[in-house]
């Protein structure tokens, strides 16, 4: 935010004309060390390009991008000209706001100015007041009425509610969770009476002193019959001053037009907001991202407004990444007021027009060309992260031997071989050319060659996946818009290469913004075509392919590369970037080439010839010391394979130690559909059903029927009635947000409202889950457990909610357990044990909270091995407390699937191990191979060990090997 001081404002400036006025402004800037004198020329040039007059007597003179280097420090100078200065076209300026800015900081003040420009009374005061303080306050935005904050995060539609009071609590919680009301205001809202506005629309309000009054909306799945009338949707407002007025006016308008039912019928949050902000626009529309680096500042805004005025139609403009409604695009001020930044999504809607498509085409062309400003490709920084881990890791010099570098599995498989880096081709080319017909011809020619090459490959291809992708690439290349965009650049004097790369980047980067990962990954198809055509245009040859078997290392892999790879030569592919749903991944799966994507830039430091193990099934690769180490690994691999095959054959045998101690080995699942598979791997039930995945699989909270069906299906899939299903109640927050649930913005979400704490914030949601569980309970052996409890008072609050629901189901008793995943829960296990039936240790979280290492940390998480003496000591505390209170303990974190840890956990007294299905046969075989006294000795030694390394060095009798 620019800091505007009283000393930046001059109320009594006097100038004969615009040119002198600008000189005065620059003189003040120079005197203050904001700019060098050369900035003045830039300001004059800017006025010759487009007038900086904004409206209502205000202008914002500023320099050109070429004179940015004359700016020494960003700032503003405000000069008032009482007599008025003719700024051109008869527009008289009383207040000139000179801007010296290197980047887009000035946009903030421009946005604030739009409120002045559209407000006659405020503009008048700005021009006339004798108080510098008042000018300051007007420009700083302190005199604006706050506007009502409306945002889709505050909307929940289609909720299964029984009473209006439930909607009221949900709306109040949503406002509170977003920091838009105080605790007291939340309670007032909850206790306020909602008014029936008619047609199922209800409203409740509370006055707030918050400068951001806001609106939350909750709509019901079906009509709720209340004594005073039917209820469908609640608008819950915190109001300050007149902020709510436009909304009330809009509601009255909808009521007058008999259209209130549109609100109750609309289930899409975006559309609901549009309905409330303005009349639903009916007309053709187009959406495009703004490619201007500085955002839609005054100059491109006036360029756009000028174009819109010429287009002979009503053209509405919206910022889909902003919070305001549509504005008519003829006003520069209103356009600036939409606050477009680089990469924001603009929507143009055309009404009252004979040829809307041509109008939209002209608009999109003008925007994509930058509205007279420089365009800057919209990069992935705007887009959702497709690569979850790797790219954020700090660059490392080299990879350590045997260090596991994690990635994502693009195509499964294991490979042992040597690295060969695929060099990314660099293209250098000039931007401008005078030979427009020549460039156009070169482009057409290259296009023709590429199209022919793709068609030839297609004619020879027999693999279905490859055929589909080649066909799609041919279609993309044939897209007239894509080709026309390039020809458009060429006809403006650019080279074929520059034009082609700009069109490719424009389309690829706008796709990359897409929140749908599948669509976002189509960007790589465009870039692949871009690359192939550039190879032709620049006359470059592909690298010669190696004829020796090797593992390809690349920054990113193109579908066209994978098509060319021979499975007998390319043993695996490892990439720094990329996603698992890319076409390159689909092709690698089809070709049977293991592909590990998203491993981060570190992969690019691997020298050719380095021996590597690429294990896509376990999502990592590692560098080994030598070829002979690779040979040893091959042997070990063969041995492990044989062991696994044996264990798999015996998978249905129980996990009973040599001396007859039995351990229950069960599975972790995230959907009922997995139960059958897990049983096939020898699982004896389900030790952890992560029920949050059921919630995440739906766009709204799953209905009662959907929840009941899921739990029943899981129980029905069990082989016998004695196989248990342990359902963990909703565990979101931390790294698992639920898109439709308002959650507080937190600096440390893992230390915030997650798991049971979130259930306490949304008790009705927990009740609905518990009701569904009770209803499914008669189908088998159902147990329920609660995540993230850290204190007995939390448990008692949860238990109270549970009891309320249990009262509705007399005669049904469920065993209740809790996750031990916070150190305080382990340390206080003796207190908890008196009130629960079992414990399940979540070692994943217990490790992150005990060792203070974020489990998702791109670098540190590797250090967080759960087989740490500190974790084992907490497990022991838990088991001892459980034994004293006659309850049992299981472990459902990843540690349970570690063969050495499984023995130690058994030795500590754990009676159930729950893990992902593939580990089950091996863990069962491991337990069958030992004696419980061996396990106890090992556990004792592990508890006394000083580090993870010391534990891993123990042999199975507890002696350091
Ligand atoms: C755990 O924390 O160990 C656990 C099993 O829960 P989740 O991994 O789902 O957080
Ligand atoms: Mg956990």
Residues 738, 823 within the same domain: yes
The CA-CA-CA angle for residues 575, 580, 586, to 5°, reads: 100
Residue 643 lies in a domain: no
CA-based nearest residue to 63, from 114, 338, 74: 74
- Domain end, chosen from 509, 538, 567, is at 538
Residues 498, 565 within the same domain: no
Given pLDDT bands bounded at 50, 70 and 90, which one contains residue 392?
very low
Residues 155, 105 within the same domain: no
Query: In this predicted structure, what is the pLDDT of residue 381?
Result: 34
Query: In this predicted structure, what is the pLDDT of residue 94?
Result: 95
Least confident residue range of 154-163, 542-551, 627-636, 788-797: 542-551
Quickly list DSSP for 881-937.
HHHHTT-EEEE-SGGGG-HHHHHHHHHHT--EEEE-GGGHHHHHHHHHTS-HHHHHH
The answer to whether 852 and 861 are in contact (CB under 8 A) is no
| Helices within 290-411 (DSSP H only) | 298-310, 332-337, 356-368
CA-based nearest residue to 574, from 615, 536, 541, 514: 615
Query: In this predicted structure, what is the pLDDT of residue 279?
Result: 54
Residue 348 lies in a domain: yes
Residues 158, 260 within the same domain: yes
Query: In this predicted structure, what is the pLDDT of residue 514?
Result: 55
Share of the chain above pLDDT 90, in %: 41
Query: In this predicted structure, what is the pLDDT of residue 857?
Result: 62
Q: 629 Cβ partners below 8 Å, 6+ apart?
A: 611
The atom of ligand 1 lying closest to the CA of 843 is 3
Residues 20, 95 within the same domain: yes
Instruction: Mark whether 353 is an active-site residue.
Output: no
Residue 271 lies in a domain: yes
Q: Residue 90: exposed, middle, or buried by beta-carbon count in 10 A (0-12, 13-18, 19+)?
A: exposed
pLDDT tens column, 206-240: 988 776 789 999 999 888 888 888 999 999 999 88
The pair of three-digit structure tokens given for residue 765, joined into one six-digit string: 């949601």
Q: Ligand 1: does its nearest atom lie under 6 Å from the Cβ of 687?
A: no
Residue 637 lies in a domain: no
Q: Ligand 1: does its nearest atom lie under 6 Å from the Cβ of 875?
A: no
What's the domain range around 480? 436-538
Report how many domains make up the chain. Answer: 6
Residue 677 clears pLDDT 80, i.e. is over it: yes
Annotated catalytic residue within 473, 583, 616, 868: 583
Strands (E), 657-703: 662-669, 686-690
Residue 397 lies in a domain: no
CA-based nearest residue to 13, from 76, 86, 82, 77: 82
Residue 391 clears pLDDT 50, i.e. is over it: no
Query: In this predicted structure, what is the pLDDT of residue 294?
Result: 75
pLDDT tens column, 87-96: 987 889 999 9
Annotated catalytic residue within 409, 599, 616, 892: 892
Q: 914 Cβ partners below 8 Å, 6+ apart?
A: 665, 666, 667, 668, 686, 687, 688, 726, 840, 890, 891, 892, 896
Residues 355, 417 within the same domain: no
Given pLDDT bands bounded at 50, 70 and 90, which one contains residue 367?
confident
Instruction: Mark whether 868 is an active-site residue.
Output: no
Tell me phi and psi for residue 279, to 5 degrees.
Answer: -65, 140
Query: In this predicted structure, what is the pLDDT of residue 93?
Result: 94
How far does Cα 416 stand from its chain's mean position?
35
Query: In this predicted structure, what is the pLDDT of residue 1?
Result: 43
Q: Give me ligand 1 centre to Cα 731, in Å.
A: 9
Q: Ligand 1: does its nearest atom lie under 6 Å from the Cβ of 156?
A: no
- If you search the block for the tokens 């004059």, which residue do you land on? 44
Q: Which residue has the higher pLDDT, 584 or 718?
A: 718
Q: Ligand 1: does its nearest atom lie under 6 Å from the Cβ of 449?
A: no
Query: In this predicted structure, what is the pLDDT of residue 145?
Result: 64
Residue 923 clears pLDDT 80, i.e. is over it: yes
Residue 522 lies in a domain: yes
Residues 198, 312 within the same domain: no
Given pLDDT bands bounded at 50, 70 and 90, which one contains residue 837?
very high
Query: Once rounded to an integer, what is the mean pLDDT over residues 328-347?
Result: 79
> What span, in angstroms and rounded, lies between the C-alpha atoms of 789 and 841?
12
> What span, in angstroms and rounded, lies between the C-alpha atoms of 110 and 99?
10
Question: 594-611 burial by CB neighbour count: b if 16+ within 10 A, else e?
Answer: bbbbbbbebbeebeeebb
CA-based nearest residue to 892, from 724, 771, 745: 724
Residues 530, 560 within the same domain: no
DSSP element (H, E) containing 126: helix 120-128
Residues 781, 915 within the same domain: yes
Residue 533 clears pLDDT 60, i.e. is over it: yes
Share of the chain above pLDDT 70, in %: 91
Query: Once rounded to an integer, what is the mean pLDDT over residues 169-185?
Result: 84
> What span, in angstroms and rounded, lies between the C-alpha atoms of 405 and 398?
11
Q: Residue 760: exposed, middle, or buried by beta-carbon count in 10 A (0-12, 13-18, 19+)?
A: middle
The atom of ligand 1 lying closest to the CA of 894 is 3
Q: Residue 67: exposed, middle, or buried by beta-carbon count in 10 A (0-12, 13-18, 19+)?
A: buried
Least confident residue range of 73-82, 286-295, 444-453, 934-943: 286-295
Query: In this predicted structure, what is the pLDDT of residue 544?
Result: 57
Residue 800 clears pLDDT 80, i.e. is over it: yes
> What span, in angstroms and rounded, lies between the C-alpha atoms of 930 and 927?
6
The atom of ligand 1 lying closest to the CA of 840 is 5
Residues 27, 132 within the same domain: yes
Residue 602 clears pLDDT 70, i.e. is over it: yes
Q: Give me ligand 2 centre to Cα 174, in Å.
A: 25
Residue 323 clears pLDDT 70, i.e. is over it: no
Query: In this predicted structure, what is the pLDDT of residue 461?
Result: 84
Query: Once rounded to an integer, what is the mean pLDDT over residues 560-586?
Result: 84
Query: Nearest C-alpha to atom 4 of ligand 1 is from which residue?
Result: 842
Q: Which residue has the higher pLDDT, 494 or 240?
A: 494
Q: Give me ligand 2 centre to Cα 844, in Å.
A: 6
- Domain end, chosen from 538, 559, 590, is at 538
Interhelix angle 869-884/899-908, nearest 10 degrees: 40
DSSP element (H, E) containing 460: helix 436-460
- If you search the block for the tokens 């749908």, which residue do you land on? 516
Given pLDDT bands bounded at 50, 70 and 90, which one contains residue 840?
very high
Residues 226, 367 within the same domain: no
pLDDT tens column, 438-484: 999 999 999 999 999 999 988 988 877 788 788 888 888 887 777 88
Residue 398 lies in a domain: no
Q: Ligand 1: does its nearest atom lie under 6 Å from the Cβ of 754?
A: no
Query: In this predicted structure, what is the pLDDT of residue 872?
Result: 98
pLDDT tens column, 720-757: 999 999 999 999 887 677 767 776 667 788 898 899 99
DSSP helix/strand/coil, 364: helix
Torsion over CA: 517, 521, 523, 526 (sign): negative
Read off the CATH number of the domain in which 340 is found. Answer: 3.30.1340.10
Residue 859 clears pLDDT 70, i.e. is over it: no
- Domain end, chosen from 572, 607, 624, is at 624
Read off the CATH number of the domain in which 884 is found. Answer: 3.20.20.60
Residues 377, 440 within the same domain: no
Least confident residue range of 480-484, 816-820, 865-869: 480-484
- The residues pairing with 99 across neighbouring beta strands, listed in sequence order, are 62, 76
pLDDT tens column, 22-61: 999 999 999 999 999 999 998 898 888 777 888 889 988 9
Q: Ligand 1: does its nearest atom lie under 6 Å from the Cβ of 339?
A: no
> What span, in angstroms and rounded, lies between the C-alpha atoms of 934 and 942?
12
Query: In this predicted structure, what is the pLDDT of residue 133?
Result: 87
Read off the CATH number of the domain in which 564 is found. Answer: 3.50.30.10
Residue 42 lies in a domain: yes
Query: Once rounded to an integer, what is the mean pLDDT over residues 124-133?
Result: 90
Strands (E), 742-842: 781-786, 815-820, 838-841
Average pLDDT, the chain: 86
Q: Give me ligand 2 centre to Cα 788, in Å.
A: 7
Read off the CATH number of the domain in which 15 is found. Answer: 3.40.930.10
Q: Give me ligand 2 centre to Cα 645, in Å.
A: 31
Read off the CATH number of the domain in which 456 is found. Answer: 1.10.274.10
Query: In this predicted structure, what is the pLDDT of residue 336?
Result: 77
Torsion over CA: 165, 166, 168, 172 (sign): positive
């Amino acid at each position: 935010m620019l800091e505007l001081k009283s000393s930046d404002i001059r109320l009594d400036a006097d100038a004969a004309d615009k040119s002198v006025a600008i000189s005065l402004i620059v003189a003040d800037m120079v005197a203050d060390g904001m700019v060098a004198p050369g900035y003045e020329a830039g300001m004059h040039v800017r006025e010759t390009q487009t007038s900086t007059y904004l409206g209502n007597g205000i202008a914002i003179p500023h320099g050109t991008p070429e004179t940015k280097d004359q700016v020494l420090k960003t700032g503003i100078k405000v000069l008032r000209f009482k007599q008025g200065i003719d700024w051109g076209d008869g527009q008289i300026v009383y207040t000139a706001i000179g801007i010296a800015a290197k980047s887009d900081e000035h946009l903030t003040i421009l946005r604030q100015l739009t409120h002045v420009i559209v407000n006659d009374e405020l503009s008048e005061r700005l021009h006339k007041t004798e108080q510098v303080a008042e000018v300051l306050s007007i420009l700083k935005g302190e005199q604006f009425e706050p506007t009502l904050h409306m945002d889709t995060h505050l909307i929940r539609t289609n909720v299964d509610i029984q009473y209006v009071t439930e909607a009221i609590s949900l709306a109040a919680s949503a406002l509170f969770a977003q920091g838009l009301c105080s605790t007291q205001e939340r309670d007032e809202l909850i206790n306020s009476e909602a008014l029936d506005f008619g047609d199922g629309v209800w409203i409740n309000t509370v006055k707030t002193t918050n400068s951001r009054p806001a609106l939350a909306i909750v709509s019901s799945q079906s009509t709720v019959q209340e004594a005073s009338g039917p209820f469908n949707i609640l608008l819950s407002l915190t109001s300050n001053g007149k902020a709510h007025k436009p909304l009330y006016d809009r509601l009255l308008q909808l009521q007058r037009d008999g259209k209130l039912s549109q609100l109750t019928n609309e289930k899409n949050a975006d559309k609901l907001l549009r309905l409330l902000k303005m009349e639903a626009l009916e007309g053709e529309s187009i959406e495009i991202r703004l490619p201007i680096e500085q955002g839609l500042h005054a100059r491109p805004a006036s360029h756009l407004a000028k174009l819109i005025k010429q287009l002979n139609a009503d053209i509405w403009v919206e910022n889909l990444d902003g919070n305001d409604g549509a504005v008519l695009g003829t006003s520069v001020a209103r356009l600036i007021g939409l606050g477009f930044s680089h990469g924001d999504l603009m929507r143009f809607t055309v009404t009252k027009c004979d040829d809307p498509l041509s109008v939209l085409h002209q608009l999109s062309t003008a925007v994509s060309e930058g509205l007279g400003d420089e365009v800057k490709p919209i990069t992935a920084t705007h887009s959702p992260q497709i690569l979850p881990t790797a790219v954020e890791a700090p660059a490392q010099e080299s990879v350590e031997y045997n260090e596991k570098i994690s990635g994502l599995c693009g195509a499964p498989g294991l490979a042992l071989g040597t690295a060969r880096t695929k060099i990314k081709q660099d293209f250098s080319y000039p931007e401008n050319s005078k030979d427009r017909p020549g460039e156009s011809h070169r482009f057409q020619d290259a296009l023709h060659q590429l199209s022919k090459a793709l068609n030839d490959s297609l004619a020879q291809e027999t693999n279905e996946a490859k055929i589909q992708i080649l066909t799609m690439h041919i279609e993309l290349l044939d897209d007239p818009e894509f080709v026309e965009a390039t020809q458009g650049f060429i006809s403006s004097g650019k080279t074929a290469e520059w034009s082609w790369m700009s069109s490719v980047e424009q389309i690829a980067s706008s796709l990359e913004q897409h929140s749908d990962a599948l669509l976002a990954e189509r960007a790589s198809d465009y870039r692949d075509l871009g690359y192939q055509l550039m190879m032709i245009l620049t006359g470059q040859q592909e690298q010669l392919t190696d004829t020796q078997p090797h593992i390809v290392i690349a920054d990113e892999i193109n579908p066209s590369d994978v098509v060319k790879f021979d499975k007998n030569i390319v043993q695996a592919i490892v990439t720094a970037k990329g996603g698992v749903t890319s076409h390159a991944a689909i092709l690698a799966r089809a070709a049977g080439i293991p592909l590990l994507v998203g491993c981060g830039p570190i992969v690019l430091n691997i020298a050719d010839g380095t021996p590597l193990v690429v294990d896509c099934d376990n999502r990592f690769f590692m560098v080994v010391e030598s070829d002979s180490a690779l040979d040893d690994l091959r042997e070990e691999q063969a041995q492990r394979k044989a062991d696994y095959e044996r264990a798999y054959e015996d998978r249905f045998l129980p996990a009973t130690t040599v001396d007859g101690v039995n351990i229950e080995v069960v599975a972790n699942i995230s959907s009922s559909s997995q139960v059958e598979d897990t049983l096939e791997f020898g699982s004896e039930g389900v030790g952890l059903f992560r029920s949050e995945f059921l919630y995440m699989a739906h766009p709204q909270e799953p209905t009662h029927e959907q929840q009941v069906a899921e739990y029943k299906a899981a129980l029905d899939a069990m082989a016998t009635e004695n196989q248990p299903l342990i359902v963990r109640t909703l565990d979101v927050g931390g790294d698992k947000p639920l898109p439709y649930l308002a959650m507080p913005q937190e600096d440390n979400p893992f230390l915030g409202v997650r798991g049971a704490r979130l259930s306490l914030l949304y008790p009705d949601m927990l009740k609905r889950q518990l009701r569904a569980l009770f209803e499914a309970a008669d189908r088998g052996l159902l147990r329920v457990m609660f995540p993230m409890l850290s204190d007995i008072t939390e448990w008692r609050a949860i238990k109270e909610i549970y009891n309320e629901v249990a009262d509705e189901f007399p005669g049904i008793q469920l065993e209740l357990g809790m996750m031990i995943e916070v150190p305080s829960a382990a340390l206080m296990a003796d207190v908890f044990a008196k009130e629960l039936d079992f414990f399940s240790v979540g070692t994943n979280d217990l490790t992150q909270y005990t060792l203070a290492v974020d489990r998702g940390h791109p670098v540190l998480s590797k250090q967080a091995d759960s087989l740490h003496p500190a974790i084992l000591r907490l497990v022991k505390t838990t088991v001892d407390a459980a034994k004293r209170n006659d309850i049992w303990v299981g472990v459902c974190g990843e540690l349970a699937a570690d063969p050495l840890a499984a023995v130690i956990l058994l030795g500590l007294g754990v009676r159930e191990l729950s893990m992902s299905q593939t580990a089950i046969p091996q863990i069962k075989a491991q337990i069958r191979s030992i004696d419980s006294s061996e396990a106890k000795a090992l556990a004792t030694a592990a508890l006394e060990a000083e580090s993870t390394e010391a534990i891993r060095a123990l042999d199975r009798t507890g002696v350091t090997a």
